[in-house]
Structures are given as C-alpha cells and as structure tokens.
Structure 1
Amino acid sequence: MKNYPISSIIVGTMRLGQWGQKMATKEMDSFIKECLEIDLVDFDHADIYGSYTTEAEFGKVLKQNSALRGQLRLTTKCGIKLISEHRSEHKVKSYDLSKAHIIASVETSLKNLNTDYLDTLLLHRPDYLMEPEEIAEAFTDLSKSGKVRFFGVSNFTKKQFESLNTLTPLCTNQIEVSLLQREAFSNGSLTQAMQLGFRPTAWSPLGGGALFAKEVPFALKPLKNTLNQLCSNYNCSIDQLLLAWLAKHPSGIVPVMGTSKIARLQKAKEAMDINITKEDWYVLWQAATGKEID
C-alpha cells in the first residue's frame, strides 16, 4: 500500500508499562516527547500489552496533553484473548477475529488511548476459525465510521494474507524477522510485500537479545565474532549492524524497537544509513547458519 505513512523505525510500547519499565505517566510523557524530537512518530501497541493496561497508561499522557495526538501515529493490535485479572471472562488463551470482537476491541482501545481514531489496526495473530469476509465487514464499518484509517495483520502466512487482502486492502504484515529468525526470507512473506507494494514490519528485529547476553550461547559465538569484526569495518555497534542487515533487503523492512531508551532509538535510526555490502550480508547469513548458503 504505497500511500501508507510509516517511519523508518517504529517505537514498540510492549515493555513501557507493566511488562517492562512500569513507567509512570510523567516518565511516559517525557519518553513520547523525546521520540517525537528525533522524528519517531509511529507507536506500536496491542490491547494485551501489560495484561490489558499499557494502552490506558499511554492514553493518560494523551489526555493530559491532547496536542500530542496530532504529532504521532498510533497502531494497535487485537485478536489475542489472554487469561488476565483484567479480563475475568476469558477462560482459556485463544484467538478471536470475529467481527464483534474486532469492533469491541477497537472501541476499548480508543477509550484507553483517549483518541477518536487509530491510524492503524493490526490483527495480532491469525485465528484458526477466522472468516475473511467477516473480518472485511468489520474493517469496512470501522473505516466508514472514521475510527480506523489503515488495516493490516501480524504473524499471518503468505496465504492468509492473500485471502484477506483480496477482500480488503492491507497495509502491512508485522512478522518476526531478524538475523536469528530468517524464515521470512524463504517462505514468501518478503517477496509478497514487494509484489504488493507494502513495507513489512519486524518484531524482535535484534533476535530477542540473545547476542547481547553477558555469556553468549556457544552456538552463537562464531556469529558474535563475525559481527564484532564487521562492526569495526562499518564503525558501528552490533545492534546497528543487525538493523542494517535487515534494512538491506529490498522489501524495506521496518523494525519495531522494543526499547525505552532514547539513545538506543537514536542509534537504531542512524543504523538506517549504514549500507552494508551484499557480500557482507551473506557473510552474516553464513555466520548465523554455520554453513554456506544453499
């Protein structure tokens, strides 16, 4: 979707609240403003974050300073139903992409975030019982009412994306992709993004932090050594090189950064200007897989 506005880096909110930093309203206010100061305007939420509390904590900031809403873009996700003290009616973890659940989730997110509209709604996980026509109806109703501007999915397979995209235009597929999680390079997801003209977004773009542990797992030590060598060549840090590796792909992968540190977000943004060579891209692939590419 070529008219879909998106930053080079997306700010993930999952660890800002109860699942991470437990930011107070004042801290979150400062964090949001610091992101905006370095032109990071896209914030990625999900209804379940913080066990259904992080949206509302973020929304307190927007309630206190309504002028901020026009300076940022809000994405949230729905479809996962967690067992939580905040959702006592949930008896088992499940997925629900029924029209009723999608619309109810959006209404709750709008209230929690103190906003009249969402810039983007993503379906968080595919529901094994989902009916694409019903989802398309929900999207149409939410679009006509002005409550959601763009619609996408997360963790959908290529076929699942195709099935829904034929009924309603989708703006992105947020998938797990990194040097340590390479399935998207071979399963058609990234090729599909290029064919249809949308930019995929990547959760866990640094591979979940395994390469930054004090004691790197033995299997990852050759990769860590290679990264260190190349970082010297490119005058960058490992996290920047991992992001530059993703950015090299022609689909235009946009990383969702799950950090609360502005300095790390600034470094991530700077990493988008690192143009590693094609050969070095494959050097890292080989180091990650432990063998020559097939």
Structure 2
Amino acid sequence: MDRVQLSPDLELSRLVYGLWRIGDDADTSPKHVEAKVEACLAQGITTMDNADIYGGYTAEAIFGAALKASPSLRDRIEIVTKCGIVAPAGRHSAVRGKHYDTSAEHINASVEASLRDMATDHVDLLLIHRPDPFMDPDVTGPALDALVTSGKVRAVGVSNFRPHDFSLLQSSMESPLVTNQIEISLLVADAFTNGDLAYLQERAIAPMAWSPLAGGSLFKPENRSLLAILERIGTEQGVDATAVAIAWLLAHPAKILPVLGTNNLDRIGKIGDAAKVTVDRQTWFDLYTAALGKPVP
C-alpha cells in the first residue's frame, strides 16, 4: 500500500478506513472492531478516520474499547479525528441546537475527550470538522498550535473548508495545516474545477476524500450507464466496480486519500483492490464524462 507524507513526521496510508458508521453495526464488541482493523492492516491500510460526533459522540469510545482490549494495535495505526461540531446528542445533549465551536476551550475539551475515549496519549491528525462562521482565527490557530507543541496532536488540518477558510485559519498559525478532507467522488466532482483541489495542489497539500462512493449513489439505477463502465473496467482488471471508482480518485495527481467506511468484513477485505487498478488519462476522462453526462467543453 502506498503512503503519503503529510508532514515531516506524519505519513498516512493512501487508503483510509472510515469509522463514521462503526456504531451502526449490530456487533460493536472490541473483538469485532479489532477484526475490522486487522482486515485493514492485512492490506497495508493503517490510517483510521474518526470524529467526536460520529455515532452521536459514541464512535471514539467504541473504537477505544478495541484499543484497550488490544493495546498493541495503537502502535500499528494512525488515528485521525475531528472536532468542532456541537449537536444535541451524547455529551452535548443539553445544547439548544446544532452549532459549531472552534474556541480554544472547546477544541481542548474535545481533544481530551478523544484521548480518553480512544485510550491513547495522542492523536496523529486532528481536523476542524466544518468551517465555523463565528471562528476567530487568532484564537483557533494558536489553540491548534499549542496542541501540536504539547504532543497531544501530531499534526492538524481541516475538513470541508473552502480555500478562503483554509487561508484565514493558516494565517494565524505556526503549524502547517496538512490536509483538507472534502467530499469528492465521481458524482461529486466539483473540487476538480472549483479551485478546491487546485489550491491544495499549488501548496503540495494532499487532500482526503470523504464519501468517495457518493454514499452508495453510484449504484442507483439512474447511474446505470456510469456503473456499466465501472463494471467493464473492473472485469478487465479483475476487481469490482467499487475498486475502479476509488482508483479513479487515486489516479489524480493531487494524491487524494479516499476514506472508505463499511462494517462488512468481506468488503473491508477488498478495500485494497483499488490500488491494483490502472486508470490512464483516457480512462479517467471516460469515467469523468460519463459522470457528468456530457463531454467536457
């Protein structure tokens, strides 16, 4: 499995396992969660993507229970987590309504909760989950810097930020923002033309891609023509259509890191198939134009 260097002392596996729905599984036992991690590690997938809000603020603890039961797992993985969304659930059930909080107090409290819930003394990568329209960069930036200096967080980045949001936060920081995790897939391909990827490429910052299969929409009847191309390429290369859709992202020179989440052990065992697929320029545009539903201009 290829790896991507995000900072001098942090590299992630090119494919990332997403824990968004870990709490939705019928079996959330430490043993079953460990089996998922081991299925990833067998393919060289070492990076686990989490967030405080996932599962109504339960996903980190579910994952942490597996790390407590098998402490040696921690040294074999990188943990990504996120903070900044406050919703009326779990430990924030008393709040009046969903909002964002990028204050130093909230970020620090969130990190302490993440460390406790995931039974670890550090997070490898912390992301601000959403742009906060009430953010004070002169508060948020130094708070993130301090976490890096403390060693509680190895590196920091953002998620769902536009270039101007990214620049604003970075302007008040000493530590580099090492990634932006944004939605990218064949069906949500705006980032290729709206400046989001260009901004990151210009700065040699590798993006992460959430929902790289468009939440399963790729496999709906209305996308049958696109799926047919994915299936044809998959048949030619000995993989399924899912692997081809992910390989389309991997082929891009921006060094995109797709985040894939599934609770099915068989599907987890096939995530690495995407790295086996060859997507040349013409094939990339075949898929792109099929997704657009029209030729490029």
Please confirm whether the aligned pair reaches a TM-score higher than 0.5, indicating the same fold. yes
Q: Deviations over 1:244-288 (max 9, x none)?
A: 111111001111011123433343323123221211111111111
How far did residue 34 of structure 1 move? 2.8
Distance 1:53 1:272, change over 3 A: same
Aligned to 1:16: 22
- The gaps in structure 2 that reach 5 residues or longer are 1-5
Superposition pairs for residues 211-226 of structure 1, below 5 Å? 211-212=218-219, 216-218=220-222, 220-226=223-229
8 A Cα contact 2:19 2:49, kept in partner:
yes
8 A Cα contact 2:17 2:47, kept in partner:
yes
Q: Match for 2:165: what amino acid?
A: Q
Superposition pairs for residues 169-184 of structure 1, below 5 Å? 169-184=176-191
Matched position secondary structure for 1:106: helix
Distance 1:87 1:185, change over 3 A: same
8 A Cα contact 2:36 2:268, kept in partner:
no
TM-score (ref. length: structure 2):
0.92
Aligned to 2:215: 208
Q: In the alignment, is residue 51 of structure 1 matched against residue 56 of structure 2?
A: yes
Task: Give RMSD over aligned pairs.
Answer: 1.6
Q: Deviations over 1:129-173 (max 9, x none)?
A: 011121111112212221111000000001111222233311100
Superposition pairs for residues 191-270 of structure 1, below 5 Å? 191-212=198-219, 216-218=220-222, 220-270=223-273
8 A Cα contact 1:14 1:20, kept in partner:
no
Q: Deviations over 1:35-92 (max 9, x none)?
A: 2233221111100111111111111122222222111111110011111144222110
Aligned mates of 1:181, 1:257 — CA distance in 2: 15
Matched position secondary structure for 1:241: helix
User: Once structures 1 and 2 are overlaid, which stretch shifts more, 270-279 or 179-188?
Assistant: 270-279
Aligned mates of 1:275, 1:159 — CA distance in 2: 34
Aligned mates of 1:229, 1:54 — CA distance in 2: 37
Q: Structure 1 residue aligned with 2:95, among 90, 93, 99?
A: 90
Distance 1:33 1:280, change over 3 A: closer
How far did residue 241 of structure 1 move? 0.8
Count the aligned residue pairs: 289
Matched position secondary structure for 1:172: strand
Q: Deviations over 1:72-131 (max 9, x none)?
A: 111110011111144222110111111111111001111111111111100111111011
Aligned mates of 1:70, 1:157 — CA distance in 2: 33
Q: In the alignment, is residue 6 of structure 1 matched against residue 6 of structure 2?
A: no
User: Once structures 1 and 2 are overlaid, which stretch shifts more, 257-266 or 166-175?
Assistant: 257-266
Q: Structure 1 residue aligned with 2:281, among 255, 274, 278?
A: 278
8 A Cα contact 1:2 1:198, kept in partner:
no
Q: Match for 1:254: what amino acid?
A: L
Aligned to 1:79: 84
Q: Structure 2 residue aligned with 1:161, among 160, 163, 166?
A: 166
Aligned mates of 1:288, 1:88 — CA distance in 2: 40
Matched position secondary structure for 2:107: helix
How far did residue 187 of structure 1 move? 1.5
- The gaps in structure 1 that reach 5 residues or longer are none
Aligned mates of 1:194, 1:286 — CA distance in 2: 22
Matched position secondary structure for 1:171: strand
Aligned mates of 2:200, 2:268 — CA distance in 1: 25
TM-score (ref. length: structure 1):
0.93
Matched position secondary structure for 1:192: helix
Distance 1:56 1:205, change over 3 A: same
Q: Match for 1:207: what amino acid?
A: A
State the 4+ residue runs in structure 1 displaced beyond 4 angstroms. none
Identical positions, percent: 39
Aligned mates of 1:229, 1:35 — CA distance in 2: 26
Aligned to 1:128: 133
Q: Structure 1 residue aligned with 2:124, among 119, 122, 125?
A: 119
User: Once structures 1 and 2 are overlaid, which stretch shifts more, 28-37 or 167-176?
Assistant: 28-37
